[in-house]
C-alpha cells in the first residue's frame, strides 16, 4: 500500500499507460483523478477502480487546454483535499514526411504532447510547494532520445518533455518536489490502430522485430515504472529519464557481427 493517503491526478488515463497507472495507484492504496479527453473512457476507468474497492473520480479534460487543466486540478482538490502525484501522460502524433506536415498538425502535436506537460507543471507545482512536496512523472518516449522516420513533430515534442523534466526537477528540488519521466519503447496500446489504420497488425509485427526482448511492451509494465518514480522508493531520484524499451536503445543499429565472423575466430585475430 505504497500510496496510502496519497492522491494522484493522471492525464490521458482513459486507456493504455494512463489507465494502467491509475489502476496501479488505486490498487496500492491511493485515490486517483482519472482525466481524459474522452469523458466516456475516463468514467469507465474510474468506475472500474471503484468496483474493485479503490477510490477514484473522473474528469473530461483536454490536456492542452489551460482552463481545462486548471478546472481538473480544482476538481481534484475539491474531491480529495490535496494532490501528491501528477502524471502528465497525454500525447499525440501525426505520421508523415516533415515537408508534408501541416502547420496545424505540428502545432497540435506540440500542444498535446509538450505544452500539456508545461500546463500540468504550471498549475500543480505551486500547490505542491505549499503542501511541502510531491512527485511528478511525465511520459516521454524513446522517440525523444532518438529520431524516427516520419515522426518529426513527435520527436521534437518528446525531446522537449525530457529536457522540460530536467529543468523542472532543478527548479523544484529545494521544495521537495521530484520530477522525472519515463521513456517507453513500443507499447501495445491503441497506438498501432491510430498510427497505422488498416495495417495495425503489420505495424505490431514490425515493432516486435526491432525489440531485443522479442515483443512489444505492456501498458502495465510502463505503469510500474511510473509508480516507482512516484513512490517513496524513488525518494533520491529526480531529473531522471527512465527508459522502458525492451532493450531497443541498447542496439547501435549495426548488423549482427556474429553472422559475419566465424565463431572460432578471435576478435582482432588473423
Q: What is the 3-state secondary structure (H, E, C) of 9-25?
A: EECCCCCHHHHHHHHHH
pLDDT of residue 264: 56
What is the Cα–Cα distance from 59 to 38, expressed in whole angstroms? 9
Q: Which residues are catalytic?
A: 154
Return the CATH architecture of domain 7-243.
3-Layer(aba) Sandwich (3.40)
- Predicted confidence band of residue 20 (pLDDT cuts 50, 70, 90): very high
pLDDT range class, residue 193, cuts 50, 70, 90: confident
- Confidence label for 269 from pLDDT (cuts 50, 70 and 90): low
Q: Mean pLDDT over residues 28-37, rounded?
A: 98
Which residues, 6+ apart, have CB-to-CB distance to 214 below 8 Å? 208
What average pLDDT is seen over the chain? 94
What are 46's three cell numbers? Answer: 474510474
- Supply 234's cell numbers: 524513488
Tell me the pLDDT band of 263, cut-offs 50, 70 and 90.
low
- What is the model's pLDDT at position 266? 59
Confidence (pLDDT) at 49:
98
Locate all alpha helices (DSSP H) within the chain, ordered by sequence.
16-27, 39-51, 66-80, 103-110, 116-131, 152-172, 191-195, 200-210, 219-230
pLDDT average, residue stretch 124-134: 98
Domain ranges within the chain, ordered by starting residue: 7-243
User: Does the pLDDT of residue 265 top 60, yes or no?
Assistant: no
Lowest mean pLDDT among 145-149, 213-217, 221-225, 256-260: 256-260
**Mean pLDDT across 213-228:** 96
pLDDT at residue 61 above 80?
A: yes
Tens digits of residue pLDDT in 85-126 = 999 999 999 999 999 999 999 999 999 999 999 999 999 999
**What are the tens digits of pLDDT across the range 34-46?**
999 999 999 999 9
Distance of CA 128 to the CA centre of its chain: 20
pLDDT digits (tens, 9 = 90+) for 138-188: 999 999 999 999 999 999 999 999 999 999 999 999 999 999 999 999 999
Amino acid at each position: 500500500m505504497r500510496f496510502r493517503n496519497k492522491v494522484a491526478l493522471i492525464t490521458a488515463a482513459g486507456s493504455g499507460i494512463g489507465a494502467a497507472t491509475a489502476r496501479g495507484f488505486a490498487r496500492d492504496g491511493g485515490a486517483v483523478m482519472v482525466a481524459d479527453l474522452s469523458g466516456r473512457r475516463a468514467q469507465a476507468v474510474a468506475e472500474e477502480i471503484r468496483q474493485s474497492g479503490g477510490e477514484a473520480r473522473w474528469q473530461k479534460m483536454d490536456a492542452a487546454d489551460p482552463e481545462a487543466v486548471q478546472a481538473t486540478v480544482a476538481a481534484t482538490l475539491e474531491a480529495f483535499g490535496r494532490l501528491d502525484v501528477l502524471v502528465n501522460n497525454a500525447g499525440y502524433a501525426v505520421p508523415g514526411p516533415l515537408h508534408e506536415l501541416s502547420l496545424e498538425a505540428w502545432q497540435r502535436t506540440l500542444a498535446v504532447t509538450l505544452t500539456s506537460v508545461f500546463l500540468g507543471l504550471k498549475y500543480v507545482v505551486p500547490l505542491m510547494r505549499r503542501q511541502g512536496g510531491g512527485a511528478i512523472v511525465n511520459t516521454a518516449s524513446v522517440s525523444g532520445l532518438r529520431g524516427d522516420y516520419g515522426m518529426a513533430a513527435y520527436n521534437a515534442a518528446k525531446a522537449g518533455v525530457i529536457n522540460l523534466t530536467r529543468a523542472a526537477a532543478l527548479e523544484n528540488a529545494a521544495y521537495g518536489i521530484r520530477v522525472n519521466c519515463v521513456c517507453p519503447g513500443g507499447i501495445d496500446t491503441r497506438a498501432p490502430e491510430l498510427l497505422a489504420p488498416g495495417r495495425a497488425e503489420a505495424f505490431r509485427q514490425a515493432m516486435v522485430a526491432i525489440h531485443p526482448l522479442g515483443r512489444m511492451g505492456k501498458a502495465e509494465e510502463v505503469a510500474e515504472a511510473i509508480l516507482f518514480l512516484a513512490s517513496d522508493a524513488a525518494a533520491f531520484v529526480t531529473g531522471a529519464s527512465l527508459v522502458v524499451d525492451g532493450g531497443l536503445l541498447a542496439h547501435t543499429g549495426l548488423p549482427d557481427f556474429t553472422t559475419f565472423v566465424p565463431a572460432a575466430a578471435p576478435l582482432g585475430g588473423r
